[in-house]
Amino acid sequence: MPAFSIESVRRVGVVGRYDTPGIAKPLKRLAGFLAARGLAVCMETDTAAVTRLPGYATASVAELGGCVDLAIVVGGDGTLLAVARQLASHRIPLIGINQGRLGFLTDIALADMETALTAMFEGKLIVEERMLLHARVVRAGVELTDGLAFNDVVINRGGFGGMIDLSVGIGDSYVCDLRADGVIVATPTGSTAYAMSANGPIVHPSVRAWSLVPISPHALTNRPIVIGDGERVTITVTRARDATMHWDGQSHHDLQEGDRILIEAAPFSVRLLHPQGYDYYAMLRKKLHWSESPLAGTEDRRQKTEDRERKSR
């Protein structure tokens, strides 16, 4: 991927989580800020319908890839995931403004938006590359569908309950048969998402690797494994009443016994821009509450309990 220079940015796409209450106000702030810097603003179609700002060009997310130099996403991590998958092949860098909950990817607070962006447009920023996965579903030798995943590819049981049986291969090697609720194939970005809740390892984004994490395996010896990004994973559904495959939890495909899922690293990556001073470990401490004492807040909780008991007497 060619080197990125913020000085070359002339056209900026703006995408918002348009169904969020109150989203119009920060979007208007952002569009006004960019226009005041002399940048051409292109609003994503649904975003434009919410903000109703005259004078700005509009385009779908897919169309933004051919008409902007940078995209700024106002929303949660899910919004950025969806936009990133569509823009990655166009090599469009992304900035995330957090209007969601945790904000692992949308790391700029809404209150700091103008301050952070001013510094970034002055060249005070960090450029980070994040890998994607490409997954295909093959049935009886015919490819049914394919898609990209920024977080993870998940194969799991459907709504009828019951474990599913899977056969896992890596490269030319057979690895194991797995009886479980499913399996998560996660990028380093996705290692702090669903995979982490299934006891998978946290993988730093700079590591070109991905992890396979069983979901509630029948045999407790089935453990997560981290592999290099040059490998190809093949997962075959050997037995299942009902099974589904998901890309980032946002698109899915129903699976049948005998289906093969072929997963490998995508040939392009997602380029994220962060404010200067961004630190991955600091983000983990903040979002996951590392370093906090298990006893922190105990006295406050005890006092609140005592207050409730006094009021109930």
Kindly list the catalytic residues: 77
Separation CA 28–CA 9 (nearest Å): 20
Who's near 241: CB < 8 A, 6+ residues apart?
158, 160, 162, 164
Sequence-ordered strand ranges (E) for 5-151: 11-16, 40-44, 57-59, 70-75, 94-98, 108-109, 125-139, 142-149
Q: Which of 155, 175, 153 has the alpha carbon at shortest distance from 163?
A: 155
Reported as half-sphere exposure (CB side, CA atoms, 13 A), residue 95 has a value of 29
Q: What is the Cβ-side half-sphere exposure of residue 27, based on CA atoms within 13 angstroms? A: 29
Q: Is the dihedral of CA 205, 206, 208, 212 positive or negative?
A: negative
How far does CA 138 lie from the centroid of its chain?
A: 25
Q: Judge contact between 76 and 248, C-beta under 8 A.
A: no
Q: Which residue bears the tokens 């169904």?
A: 19
Q: For residue 17, give the DSSP letter.
A: -
Give the tokens for residue 275: 């404010």
